[in-house]
Chain A
Amino acid sequence: MANYYNDIKEIKFELENSPLMERIVELKERSFEDKDQYDEAPQDFADAMDSYDKVLDIVGDITANVIAPNAEDVDAEGPHLEKGRVTYASKTYENLDNMIKAGMNGLTMPRRYGGLNLPVTVYTAANEIVSAGDAGFENIWSLQDCIETLFCFGNEEQRQKYIPRVCKGETMSMDLTEPDAGSDLQSVMLKASYDEDNKCWRLNGSKRFITNGDSDIHLVLARSEAGTRDGRGLSMFIYDKRDGGVDVRRIENKLGIHGSPTCELVYKNAKCELCGDRKLGLIKYVMSLMNGARLGIAAQSVGLSQAAYNEAVAYARDRKQFGKAIIEFPAVAEMISNIKARLDAGRALLYQTARYVDIYKALEDISRDRKLTPEERAELKKYSRLADAFTPLAKGMNSEYANQNGYDCIQIHGGSGFMLEYACQRIYRDARITSIYEGTTQLQTVAAIRYVTNGFYSTVIEDFEQQDVASEYKEFQVRIKEMTQKYNACVASVKEASDQDFHDICARHLYEMAADVIMCHLLLQNATKAPELFVKSLQVYLNYAEAEVGKHGTWINRMSISQLDNYRQS
């Protein structure tokens, strides 16, 4: 029987073949302290890995046999709005019911709240798998990771109240965007005021573009400090739908992810709870929320790329023109190979990022219970920085790749791809949002660029250069080093210009060059361990990345401050 996990060997490889995994499990399981208390807890590292494998097997099974077959109907029907309440497409309920019965909620939460205590890396794999079946459904289901933010910053009473509910399948949303506050969240105006009579906070105003906006538990960014206008006046609140006071005014009519309701919300004196401290809503909690969500979108994007690859290969094998299957024509084969190479490279980046996130999050969690040792503090700092530097690369690059891969998938289908009968059109439409929401690629560049200019990516790349590779792959390592030299030279020349506009206009190019080089290294490491899975993709991606790095290098070399005027449009 089809299984979206077992059928894709690369996912399992990513889970099992990193030296960091043992450390992640040790930290996440706190040296296996749950093993005698919970029947489902692992006894040791091997046992934990076996359990992860079995959990993902279930996700792959449900995705292949329920979620993917439902995707077309869910896309066609979409959600409905009646009297301020959202009803999902009918088959979305079937998907949710299966995921709830399989216990696929609150995956990363500690067992004492009813969770499975899975590492983020494993949750990321589940996300990717579900997305390959239906990215719109993945959107609703994966909002469960908002609970991470409540777990990190809520008080114990809030944890006990909300986390078990999410583990049982209640859905979540993060209410951030407003009509005048999209990328610029400092402008959020939803008003939070303290109700002295009832000793609680109240929300008044509206929000827009809220994914799954009629969820059971909302995390809401609102202005608690009257008279302020910037991010320092914003706090985070928990709204419980059981209390009432928030209605859905409208469901947006979107290009893609039709299964996922995108809502406009009206808050009418809605009772809510403060989460964490006042004034830290945007600057601390939303940043944490967004970093988790960005990793989620990176996983969603990789899932879409996998779906694009599957559809492209299936069609190209089946479709015959000029007496042979079109997959045999070099022009088609090149497109498919590039999809696969971008998929494998992007996936390697995704899991590397997830592992960094796992280590720092697990240490951060331990630090809430006891003082960390100096070594642990250094480790936390190291991985926290790596996670921060890699998350915008993983999100930006994978979302752009998902778009490119969806585009090429339609191209391979020719005229049939433009018709609405094939799955490729849904993949193409669903992919479009990934490079926009949770921070556009342009904003991922903003988040990443300091690691370009302060040399952090270069240091990471130098570390990668020290890793052992198979002797027959040394020539590939040399080629990557040449790309790195081009990248470093471009960084130096842009810094030397000392002009903010020039710096900003070159930023995206430098960002992509860094990401290309990093992905080449990760694929090289993968190919060294599993040549049967990666050696083709490595070489295809090297050709692709060299061309990309060359292109960006040429652009930066040609670009000058004097040309900036040519790029100013009014």
Chain B
Amino acid sequence: MSLKIVVLAKQVPDTRNVGPDAMTPEGTVNRSALPAIFNPEDLNALEQALRLKDQNPGTTVIVLTMGPGRAAEIIREAMYRGADGGYLLTDRAFAGADTLATSYALATAIKHVQPDVDLIIGGRQAIDGDTAQVGPQVAEKLGLNQITYSEEILSCKDGKIVVKRHIDGGVETVESPLPCVITVNGSAAPCRPRNSKLVMKFKRAKAPMELVPETTFADLPYADLYEKRPYLKLGQLNCADVNADLQQCGLAGSPTKVKTVQNIVFKAKESKVLTGSDEDVNGLIQELLASHTIG
């Protein structure tokens, strides 16, 4: 059974390898000091999609990413690993989007590029925002089932998908009819490496946004290749292309407002020694509940 799969992927600052200049004095992420990478759990998601493609001839895997021109790198990285192509969703009107506006933009774009999609797969969450909200919100906006915290797609046939989920204290196997949205956990199989032939084939692929302003593909080195090989021109969509409602995009569509940002300072003032007795453990639980540290 051939499938139409859309992978949602995001370019994020590499918050796992932070140096001393990773934060600005104002407490926001200093994006210029951190390399931009493929969000790690989106790579796990891509791998699940590529495995379905391996097993189901004729399957297409399309990557959808929202961001500025440089985010097209995510599409290339996915194509180096076996994705068929992708779209860069880019527009000034998308800037400043919170998770609600982001999921609106993505859902609208999916309806446009793959109206008869079978599966939408994304990472559980991005390492910059850590919200885990975008996948589920996309599912809601499209009116689809969702399977979160997925670890492995066990089977996908006859219009049904069976997925192993990672839950507290174990795993759960669930089944859903297609189409549906799946978010993949970091504990799933790591993504396959870039393939040398695909890298050589797609290394010059570009989205229009990446071109120097006022230039065209005809001004690039090896310009004739862009004519001969259409796959080298990556898909690009703006607000108007996907008929998005401007009121639901970007800052306008984002109810989340950041009021203040505070730096966390770890300071232990005093310490307490507890034994492993039930009494001490219960006491600690009560204390932590009272201080709203847990619960």
Contacts and interface: CB of A to CB of B under 8 A. Distances in A.
B192 interface: yes
A62 interface: yes
Interface in B115-145: none
A103 B225 contact: no
A39 B193 contact: no
Contact of B203 (A54, A101, A102): A54
B222 A62 contact: no
Contacts of A41: 200
Given A39-B229, A101-B192, A54 B222 contact: no
B247 interface: no
B19 to A, nearest CB: 14
Contacts of A431: none
A55 B203 contact: no
B195 interface: yes
Interface stretch (A43-51, A222-230, A395-403): A43-51
Contact of A58 (B17, B196, B201, B229): B196
Q: Which of A1, A40, A41 has the most CB of B within 10 A?
A: A40
Given A43-B225, A47-B222, A61 B201 contact: no
Contact of A102 (B17, B193, B225, B229): B193
Contacts of B201: 39-40
A40 B193 contact: no
B254 to A, nearest CB: 32
B194 interface: yes
Contacts of B225: 43
A188 interface: no
B113 interface: no
A104 B196 contact: yes
Nearest to B191: A101
Select the residue from A42, A58, A116 with max chain B CB neighbours within 10 A: A58
B197 interface: yes
B29 interface: no
B196 A55 contact: yes
Nearest to B194: A58
B17 A40 contact: no
B93 to A, nearest CB: 34
Contact of B195 (A42, A66, A102): A102
Interface string A75-108: 0000000000000000000000010011110000
A372 to B, nearest CB: 29
A51 B200 contact: yes
Given A1-B17, A43-B225, A47-B222, A101 B193 contact: yes
A58 B193 contact: yes
Contacts of B222: 43, 47
B197 A116 contact: yes
A66 B194 CA distance: 13
Nearest to A116: B196
A61 B193 contact: yes
A40 B194 contact: no
Nearest to A56: B196
Contacts of B200: 39-42, 51, 54-55, 116
Of the candidates B193, B195, B199, the one having the most CB atoms from chain A within 10 angstroms of its own CB is B193
A50 B203 contact: yes
Nearest to B202: A39
A1 B225 CA distance: 32
Contacts of B203: 50-51, 54
Interface in B156-186: none
A442 B181 CA distance: 65
Contacts of B193: 58, 61-62, 66, 98, 101-102
Contacts of B192: 98, 101-102
Contacts of A54: 196, 199-200, 203
Contacts of A66: 193
Given A50-B203, A51-B203, A103 B17 contact: no
Contacts of A61: 193-194
Interface string A500-535: 000000000000000000000000000000000000
Given A1-B17, A58-B196, A62-B193, 19 more contacts: A39-B200, A39-B229, A41-B200, A42-B200, A43-B225, A51-B199, A51-B200, A55-B199, A58-B193, A58-B194, A61-B193, A61-B194, A98-B192, A101-B195, A102-B193, A102-B195, A102-B196, A103-B195, A116-B200
14 contacts: A39-B200, A40-B197, A40-B201, A43-B225, A50-B203, A51-B200, A54-B196, A54-B200, A54-B203, A98-B192, A102-B194, A103-B195, A103-B196, A116-B200
Interface of B: 17, 192-201, 203, 222, 225, 229
A-B pairs, 8 with minimum CB distance: A40-B200, A103-B196, A102-B193, A39-B201, A101-B192, A40-B197, A40-B201, A103-B195
